[in-house]
Amino acid sequence: MGDSNTASVLSGEILGTATLRRIEESKVDTGRFQYQLYSMILAFHFGEMEEAASFEKAMRKNLYAEASEPPGLSTRVFYTVLVYLALFRQSKRRKHKKKALSSYKILERWVSKGATNCAYMKSILDAEWWSITPKKGVEMVLEQYDRAVESATKMGHLHHEALACELAFNYLYKFPFIAKDKKIAYLKRSLACYEKWQGHAKVADLASRYKHFLEESKPIS
């Protein structure tokens, strides 16, 4: 997510659209898996959930099945849960929630077996699950988002710190009784983290979507 003029195009110094196209055309399974994985992540980050789901479905399910800590697969499972929870919010279709839950249980099992690199992912997913659970109050859900942000920060994963803040903001945004300064704090931290991560297209996308909200939060000089 580099300096592309189009928000939905991955175009950084290491991986650009030309590189991804070559990977897609490759007959090497690992290469195709990586192409589909990166494309799913990109589609999710720019709100293209149906497209993200199509890339998830295209990935081979058992490519790294024999690995104790599958490289790339934990990220795939993490984003699969996020994608299908987002689709569930949009459609309220139980099949999306069921798909999210089955993938969540995989990550949960890895964490229970000591995959510490997946623990912060589970923390973020826990917050997302709580956000669609009616019995969980706003403050309780927000506390879990805060734990998720802290967990990603401690692991040094800047883009997932940004994501956790963005998800917390998305959750709070719909509640008119939540103070704007509380909401804006999450959005600004998310933008700052994405900027530091050099996700310029993502920063531009978020800033554009919430332009009026950001402008309203500026102090009057």
The last residue of one of the domains, among 93, 114, 135, is: 114
Residues 156-183 have pLDDT tens digits of 999 999 999 999 999 999 898 888 889 9
Residue 82: give the domain boundaries: 1-114
Torsion of CA 183, 158, 72, 38, to 10 degrees: 70
Among residues 88, 114, 140, the one where a domain terminates is 114
Domain count, the chain: 2
- 103 and 2 assigned to the same domain: yes
Residue where one domain finishes, among candidates 68, 86, 114: 114
Q: Do 105 and 189 belong together in one domain? A: no
163 and 75 in one domain?
no
Q: Are residues 35 and 61 in the same domain?
A: yes
C-beta separation of 77 from 106 below 8 A: yes
Task: Assess whether 133 and 174 both reside in one domain.
Answer: yes
What is the pLDDT confidence band of residue 123, given thresholds at 50, 70 and 90? very high
CATH code of the domain covering residue 160: 1.25.40
For residues 16, 59, 54, 24, the Cα torsion angle rounded to the nearest 10 degrees is 30
Per the model's pLDDT, the better-predicted residue between 146 and 12 turns out to be 146
Residue type present at position 168: A
**Do residues 11 and 208 make contact, with C-beta atoms less than 8 angstroms apart?**
no
Contacts of 123 (CB under 8 A, 6+ apart): 144, 147, 148, 151, 152
The pTM of this model reads 0.85
Same domain, 134 and 96: no
How crowded is residue 115: how many other Cβ atoms within 10 Å of its Cβ? 17
- One domain for residues 91 and 127: no
Please, what is the average pLDDT of the chain? 84
Q: Is residue 193 domain-shared with residue 161, that is, in the same domain?
A: yes
Determine contact, residues 173/183, Cβ cutoff 8 Å: yes
Which tokens hold the place of 84?
């299908």
The residues, ordered by sequence, that sit 6+ positions from 202 with a Cβ below 8 Å of its Cβ are 1, 7, 45, 46, 162, 194
Span 14-47, pLDDT tens digits: 456 666 667 667 666 677 777 788 889 999 999 9
